[in-house]
Amino acid sequence: MGKTPRKRLIMIGAAAFAGYTFLARPWFLRWGASDEEVRQALPGDDIVKHPRYMTTRVITIQAPAAAIWPWLVQMGQDRGGLYSYDRLENLLGLDFQSTDHIVPEFQRLEVGDKVRLAPEQRFDLALEVRMIEAPHALVLSSPGDPEEAMAAGYPAMSWAFVLNSLDEQTTRLVIRCRSDYQPTMTSVVMNQVFLEPIHFIMERKMLLGIKQRVEQASRQKSVEETDNIPLHIV
């Protein structure tokens, strides 16, 4: 006698959950990262000491760290954007307009500054600059003390952007997120089933967006420098 439709649905659901948990989730938590990069201690790791959720995602960019750094400094909703899917972000009313060039007036950033993730008049959603070490590391976090936030029932997170030079023209951009939250059934399901995949989709696009912009700017600079080389007619 064949299985009932209900049992089939349960089996399909169990298989999908297992595939997500043991195959898809481990892959997107460390997209692009080597084993060494996943294990590597990074600036900002001490902010959220015992994360329930941690990602390390990496991309190789054909440019020196100094050429990538200005694109990181100008990130933010009311600044240069996040170089991700603006249309998706704007469906939520976040009003992102990611720029395709370096904006001089957005190059000033200091510890304690806020990097907004949504318009201030709509959502109180911003991260605080906890560390800035040009052109190597930029660390953002949820405002205030993480332990106090957790005690009050709010999640705590850190978001680190680290540039590791492989040679003079090649850099690994590492983005690490660490977060902790109250382990209720609702928060676990919300984070692992809904927020984590969305975070991966948007952050992967961010990495690709930064790479595209930096390398395109580097190519344009090389063309301009070549065009400006004087010709010597003998």
Within a domain: 8 = no
Per the structure block, which two tokens stand in for 88? 């998706």
Cis peptide before 183 (omega within 30 of 0): no
Whole-number pLDDT of residue 4: 77
In the 8-state DSSP scheme, what is residue 22? Answer: I
Confidence of residue 231 (pLDDT cuts 50, 70, 90): low
Q: With the C-alpha atoms ordered 109, 100, 79, 164, is the resulting torsion angle positive or negative?
A: negative
Beta bridge partners, 137, equal 133, 162
Q: For the segment 137-159, what is each residue's pLDDT rounded down to a tens digit?
A: 999 999 988 888 887 778 899 99
Range of the domain at 185: 18-224
Beta bridge partners, 165, equal 171
Within a domain: 44 = yes
| CATH number of the structural domain spanning residue 173 | 3.30.530.20
In the 8-state DSSP scheme, what is residue 104? Answer: G
Within a domain: 176 = yes
Q: How many Å apart are CA 96 and CA 122, to the nearest integer? A: 13
Provide the whole-model pTM.
0.88
Within a domain: 202 = yes
Q: Say if strands 114-116 and 126-133 run parallel, antiparallel, or are unpaired.
A: antiparallel
Confidence of residue 1 (pLDDT cuts 50, 70, 90): very low
Q: For the segment 179-194, what is each residue's pLDDT rounded down to a tens digit?
A: 999 888 888 888 888 8
Within a domain: 7 = no
Within a domain: 9 = no
HSE-CB for 226 with a 13 A CA cutoff: 6
Alpha-carbon Rg for the chain in angstroms: 21
Within a domain: 29 = yes
Q: How many Å apart are CA 57 and CA 168, to the nearest integer? A: 22
Q: How many Å apart are CA 218 and CA 144, to the nearest integer? A: 38
Q: What is the mean pLDDT of residues 97-126?
A: 94
Within a domain: 231 = no
Q: Count of domains in the chain?
A: 1
